[in-house]
Structure 1
Amino acid sequence: MFFWRKSKNWEDEYDEYYTRDIERGGGSTKFRYLPHFLLLLFVGAVFCAIVGAVAGMTMLEKLLTALAMPVGILWLLLLVTIYFCLINRNAWPAMMCFLCWLLLTVAGNSFFTSWYAGTVEQAYFEQDLTDVDPFDVVVVLGGGSTTRLSGNPQVSESGDRIVQAARLWHAGKAKQLMCTGLQSFRSTEKDLHPYEEATLLLEELGVAPQAILKLNGINTSEEMQNLKKWSDANPGQRIGLLTSAWHLPRAHRLAKSQGLDVMPIAAGFYSQPYAPSPNIVVPSEYNLVVSAAVTKEYLARLVGR
């Protein structure tokens, strides 16, 4: 790059200084970058001091914790790498590292992920199920639970699907609940299918066993195909489709592609009100998961799934 090819600048003089120093026997290049490391430490210390003074010790502790996480460490290493590439005038490595750092920063930012999730969830922000007529069956898509090593089920990050289903049944808004999902691979006999996990959890939440139906399907597309077959065999049913808000547009789209008339029911929103967090600056693993989930929904829309 042309602005990297100056005939002589401060870095050239820096190189010449160390070269002359070595020739005189007065130094070694192994300490050449020590002032830079000290400068970076000083800048980091000043930044932490400002955070502590402005936001308090609690926020400072959260910031240091975020920086100590794997994503935080990677974020810092990329910053340091960019800095040293720049002082050594390695333009393209610096640019590539900056692009990686920028992607990590944006995708792991709590402001961005809340807005990004809102682009697919906004249609359900004001959804209110208190005044709707009861459903004959509410389909609870799999993915809201996992199996522990002991063989017992537990709710996952998307577990609000199961909780919302139990709430609807107890409120008299769902006569029956239909749990879906099969695993394509089971590591052990204790590794339950998603519909088995959801069934056990719903029973523990007080739902009557006779009110729970099961539906097979490896993915959402297969589940909607099987739901179409069930609907054809049981006409006249008022059906609700319950899944995480970020996943609901795709599930509803696939249901309509099968000719199903279902009402979408949202649970587990990723969009959240603003809350002070170090992840406004330092990316986090959770926000990266949110970004990946929403991106997957857009990719599915792009390929017509």
Structure 2
Amino acid sequence: MARKSGRIGFLLTVAVIGAVVVGTVWILWGRPAAEKIATNLILPAGVVWWFTFFSAIRLFQIGQRRGAMSMLTVWVLYTASGSGYLSDYLVRRLESPFLSMQPLEVEPLDAVIVLGGGGSLGGNRRPQANGSGDRLVLAAQMYHAKKTEHIICTGRRIAAMDSTGIDPSDVSAEILKSLGVPAEAIEQVGGQNTSEELHTVSERFPETQSRIGVITSAWHMPRVLRLAKASGVTIIPLPADFRTSPDIEPLRPAQRLNAVIPSGDALQTNGAMLKEFLATIAGR
């Protein structure tokens, strides 16, 4: 009975602390900020975060120091992996060389390569832009701005890991046509990963004097440049899909607090950025 009462008391304490935090945010920065914080705390990533933290405290209270330290270690690692601060740092590290680049201001190019990954097939079978869809928007803009008359879409699906039955290059081509790029200006080539795509480009353009631009996400561009150099092809980087926000104003206090709470978006971003760093280490 005493143990059950202790658990109930502990849960009530957690609820009160959460209410105090949200209430304080409401008083200091308004209802919208409080709702944002509260939402992040009750989403799965947030629940795991505060559950592991208060579980560590509870284990300390009942004398389970080893278990408490293990849980606290998990909490620290989880906090870091889901931190908005970490994702901002990693993104900026990768994108910083390209922040001053303006792709629409380059001299006309012989061809623009759009690496696969900017589109997907929707549930209604309509090709649609995804989170990296700015790659395709930029390609269409460059065509309409007369920066190129030739767009090459890359990407072939990995059949064992894709049940849609359509290649990334097909999706990209369909979206570009819907954005006003004529079919005769679009070419499609294969490649199941970035390395294969760049190798295909090197075979397609053995003449080094050709001015070839490559569009991909800005955070992916360092890897692309490295692989292009290894493939012996000179490319002009055309970064799209920036994740770095412009430093127009300093972060607000509520933003700083929200960045501490792990979120699904931050976890996904950190995973993608760490994949880029690991690929560099592995030479991929």
Q: Corresponding residue for 2:94?
A: 120
Task: Report the AA paired with residue 18 of structure 2.
Answer: G
Matches within 5 A, 1:95-110: 95-110=69-84
Deviation at 1:106, TM superposition (A): 2.2
Specify which of 282, 290, 303 is matched with residue 261 of structure 2.
282
CA apart distance, 1:137: 0.5
Deviation per residue, 1:167-212 (Å, 9 max, x gap): 1111111221110000111755x53210000000000001111111
Shift of 1:130: 4.1
Residues 130-176 of structure 1 deviation map (CA, whole Å, 9 limit, x = unaligned): 44211111100001111113321111111111111111111111221
Aligned letter for 1:205?
Answer: L
1:243 touches 1:265 (CA, 8 Å); kept in 2? yes
Does 1:200 find its partner at 2:174?
yes
Aligned with residue 251 of structure 1, among 224, 240, 256: 224
Q: Identify the match of residue 119 of structure 2 among 145, 149, 167.
A: 145
Question: Which amino acid in structure 1 is aligned with residue 37 of structure 2?
Answer: L
Q: Deviations over 1:225-258 (max 9, x none)?
A: 11111112x6642100110011111011101101
What's the RMSD between the two structures over aligned residues?
A: 1.8
Asked if residue 296 in structure 1 is aligned to residue 275 in structure 2, the reply is: yes
**Letter of the 1:195 counterpart:** S
Aligned length: 277
Equivalent-residue separation in structure 2 for 1:94 and 1:191 (angstroms): 49
Q: CA deviation at 1:110?
A: 2.2
Distance 2:12 2:152 in 1: 61
Q: Secondary structure at the match of 2:210?
A: coil
TM-score, normalising length: structure 2: 0.91
Shift of 1:86: 1.2
What are structure 2's unaligned runs of at least 5 residues?
Answer: none
Partners of 1:95 and 1:301 lie apart in 2 by 34
C-alpha distance in structure 1 between counterparts of 2:65 and 2:237, whole Å: 51
Bigger Rg, which one = 1
2:144 corresponds to which letter in structure 1?
H
* Structure 2 counterpart of 1:212, one-letter code: I
Q: How far apart, in 2, do the equivalents of 1:38 and 1:131 lie?
A: 59
User: Which secondary structure state, in structure 2, belongs to the residue aligned with residue 62 of structure 1?
Assistant: helix
Q: In structure 2, which of residues 233, 254, 267 is the aligned counterpart of residue 260 of structure 1?
A: 233
Q: Percent identity?
A: 32
Alpha-carbon distance between aligned partners in 2 of 1:226 and 1:86, rounded to the nearest angstrom: 58
Aligned residue number for residue 174 of structure 1: 148
Q: Which residue of 2 aligns with 1:6?
A: none
Amino acid at match of 2:26: G
Matches of 2:104 and 2:136 in 1, distance apart?
Answer: 18
Alignment of structure 1 residues 1-305 onto 2, 5 Å: 28-185=2-159, 188=163, 191-232=165-206, 236-273=209-246, 274=251, 276-277=254-255, 279-305=258-284
Cα gap change, 1:129 to 1:58, in 2 (>3 Å): same
Aligned-pair distance for 1:66?
1.1
